[in-house]
């Protein structure tokens, strides 16, 4: 295999190892590798340091010996006298004297190798920590430092050679190197074990998180991860994960409720239609009254169903942020007047009054704004007995920079415990009470749609109501700034519709 391909294969394997191994293994390897490098580095520094200090020691001893002899010579002593005395060099330092021809004439250790042997073993490139003015020779079993000094005695020139062996130190250093090597290996193994232990401990919550995530199924969304007591990144991750599960569970439950409520709402009209179609198939051709009643009922149920489907589609579009809201500058008084006028045709025996209707410019989508006003008005009609009064007023509140539209009725009212819930999807207050007003009851979706439209326009909805006395819905609609620059057809603002919003 060509060398290039071999390298590529190696890199490929390494990349696969890095991408596929567990984080704990990666951390262990990294931890061990770092410690290994540190140990090697410190051992090397230590070895070099000890070596350098031994060489320095030898160098100092030679220097002291040289200076000592130099001083005695300058004090007038002769070389022969010095060599006959004791301790003219430090213990361990060898002195060799040669004459001008290089002939060895004195050596304080007769067993010491000759000058020629030492010279022949001179090291060309001594270690960088060795003194440059001295020579280093490596013999079979030892190395030595060598310094020379020329002197004049009795008119003769002599060369003094000072030697200092560093054999003992070298033995020690070799031993030290072996010890350091073993320590490095042991340290590496300990680092591997410690790294493995530590990383597994640190990553334990992540493993639990993974296991919990695996166990979570659509049917069992109530499982949560235990949040570690210490506040660190992992506890933050667990909290965030649990929070995400809370949201998912709430969303999922909401969706399930929505689907079951919608199916439930659709089941009744479908059952009625099926019942009437059975009746028609049996008696329709012979009994004209049954035929007429059947067709009318089927039509009414189909219309109800259509309305329900329209509302469901609206909310589905809203949830998917696909419901278009094209805002433009509108005169609210005109919009209110128009909606109330058209509503008057549908109120039957109720009295619908438009009171104060102040002028005010708002920036809103006319279609959904009408839809919202109609929902409140239709409810007022639905939940007010015949002959009841419904009043609409629209007041300008300059202090709040808003228009305040109040839709009041003197109908059945809403109990305090229901007031929080009527904006929930499919929520209907006690249906037995609605019978009092002869209302067929709605779908429970109208106010959810109204709340969504209000949210899209920053409109706040307040409710004042008490059972048996009627209800007043107060809409606070922001006034549009005169110099406000806006696109006439702004698409729907992103906003999440919440059941409890």
Interface residues with ligand ADP (CB under 6 A) are 375, 379-380, 382-383, 409, 411-414, 422, 427-429, 441-448, 471
Number of H helices, E strands in the chain: 13, 12
Of 205 and 413, which has the nearer Cβ to ligand ADP?
413
Cα angle at 298 between 297 and 302, to 5 degrees?
115
Task: Please tell me what DSSP assigns to residue 225.
Answer: P
165 or 443: CB nearest ligand ADP? 443
Shortest CB 500 distance to ligand ADP, Å: 14
Task: Provide DSSP, 77-104.
Answer: --HHHHHHSS-SS-TTEEEEEE-TT--E
Q: Which residues contact 347 (CB under 8 A, 6 or more apart)?
A: 381, 390
SS3 of residue 391 by DSSP: strand
CB of 351 to ligand ADP, least distance (A): 15
Closest approach, Cβ 229 to ligand ADP, in A, equals 45
Least spacing, CB of residue 283 vs ligand ADP, in Å: 33
Q: How far is the CB of 470 from ligand ADP (least distance, A)?
A: 7
CB-closest chain residue to ligand ADP: 442
CA angle 17-21-25, nearest 5°?
110
Look up tokens 């010579």; give the residue: 73
- Closest to ligand ADP by CB, 65 vs 443, is 443
> CA triplet 288, 291, 294: central angle to 5 degrees?
150
CB atoms within 10 A of CB 250: 14
Q: Considering the complex, what minimum distance in angstroms separates the CB of residue 311 from ligand ADP?
A: 8
Rounded to the nearest 10°, the torsion over CA 393, 396, 397, 402 is: 100
Contact 169, 54 (CB under 8 A): yes
Query: 3-state class of 193 per DSSP?
Result: helix
Longest dimension (CA), the chain: 162
- Taking the complex as a whole, the smallest distance from the CB of residue 450 to ligand ADP amounts, in Å, to 7
Specify the residue, 287 or 378, whose C-beta has the smaller distance to ligand ADP: 378
* Cβ nearer to ligand ADP, comparing 28 with 439: 439
Q: Least distance from C-beta 200 to ligand ADP, angstroms?
A: 55
How many other CB atoms are found less than 10 A from the CB of residue 56? 13
Q: Are 327 and 363 in contact, with CB atoms under 8 Å apart?
A: yes
Given the complex with ligand ADP, which of 63 and 418 has the nearer CB atom? 418
Between 109 and 420, whose beta carbon lies closer to ligand ADP?
A: 420
Query: Cβ of residue 475: shortest distance to ligand ADP, in angstroms?
Result: 13
Measured from the CB atom, the residue of 382 and 396 that comes closer to ligand ADP is: 382
The rounded distance, in Å, linking the Cα atoms of 332 and 356 is 12
Q: Which residue has the tokens 């591997």?
A: 192
The residue among 66 and 381 lying less far from ligand ADP, judged by its C-beta, is: 381
């Amino acid at each position: 295999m060509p060398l290039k391909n071999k390298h590529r294969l190696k890199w490929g394997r390494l990349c696969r190892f890095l991408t596929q191994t567990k984080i704990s293994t990666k951390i262990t390897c990294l931890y061990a590798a770092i410690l290994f490098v540190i140990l090697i580095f410190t051992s090397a520094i230590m070895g070099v340091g000890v070596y350098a200090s031994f060489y320095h020691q030898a160098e100092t001893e030679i220097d002291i010996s040289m200076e000592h002899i130099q001083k005695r010579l300058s004090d007038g002593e002769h070389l022969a006298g010095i060599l006959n005395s004791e301790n003219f060099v430090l213990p361990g330092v060898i002195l060799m004297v040669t004459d001008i021809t290089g002939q060895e004439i004195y050596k304080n250790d007769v067993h010491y190798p000759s000058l020629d042997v030492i010279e022949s073993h001179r090291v060309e490139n001594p270690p960088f920590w060795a003194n440059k003015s001295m020579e280093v020779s490596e013999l079979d079993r030892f190395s030595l430092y060598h310094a020379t000094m020329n002197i004049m005695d009795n008119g003769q020139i002599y060369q003094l050679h000072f030697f200092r062996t560093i054999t003992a130190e070298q033995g020690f250093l070799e031993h030290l190197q072996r010890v350091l090597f073993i320590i490095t290996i042991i340290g590496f193994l300990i680092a591997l074990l410690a790294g493995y232990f530590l990383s597994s401990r640190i990553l334990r919550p992540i493993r639990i998180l993974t296991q919990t995530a695996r166990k979570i199924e659509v049917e069992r969304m109530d499982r949560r991860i235990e949040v570690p007591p210490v506040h660190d990144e992992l506890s933050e991750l667990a909290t965030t994960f649990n929070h995400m599960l809370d949201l998912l569970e709430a969303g999922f439950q909401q969706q399930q409720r929505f689907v079951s409520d919608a199916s439930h709402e659709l089941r009744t009209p479908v059952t009625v239609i099926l019942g009437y179609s059975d009746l028609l198939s049996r008696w329709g051709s012979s009994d004209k009254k049954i035929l007429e009643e059947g067709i009318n009922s089927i039509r009414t149920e189909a219309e109800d169903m259509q309305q329900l489907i329209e509302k469901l589609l609206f909310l589905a579009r809203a949830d998917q942020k696909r419901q278009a809201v094209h805002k433009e500058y509108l005169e609210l008084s005109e919009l209110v007047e128009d909606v109330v006028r058209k509503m008057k045709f549908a109120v039957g025996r109720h009295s619908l009054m438009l009171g104060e209707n102040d002028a005010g410019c708002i920036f809103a989508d006319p279609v959904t704004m009408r839809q919202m006003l109609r929902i409140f008005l239709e409810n007022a009609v639905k939940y007010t007995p015949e002959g009841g009064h419904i009043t609409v007023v629209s007041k300008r509140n300059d202090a709040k920079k808003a228009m305040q539209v109040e839709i009041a009725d003197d109908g059945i009212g809403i109990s305090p415990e229901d007031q929080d819930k009527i904006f929930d999807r499919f929520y209907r207050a006690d249906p037995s009470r609605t019978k009092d007003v002869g209302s067929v009851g709605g779908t429970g979706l109208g106010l959810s749609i109204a709340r969504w439209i209000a949210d899209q326009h920053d409109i706040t909805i307040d409710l004042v109501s008490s059972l048996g006395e009627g209800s007043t819905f107060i809409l606070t609609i922001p006034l549009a700034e005169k110099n406000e620059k806006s696109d006439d057809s702004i698409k729907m603002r992103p906003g999440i519709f919440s059941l409890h919003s």
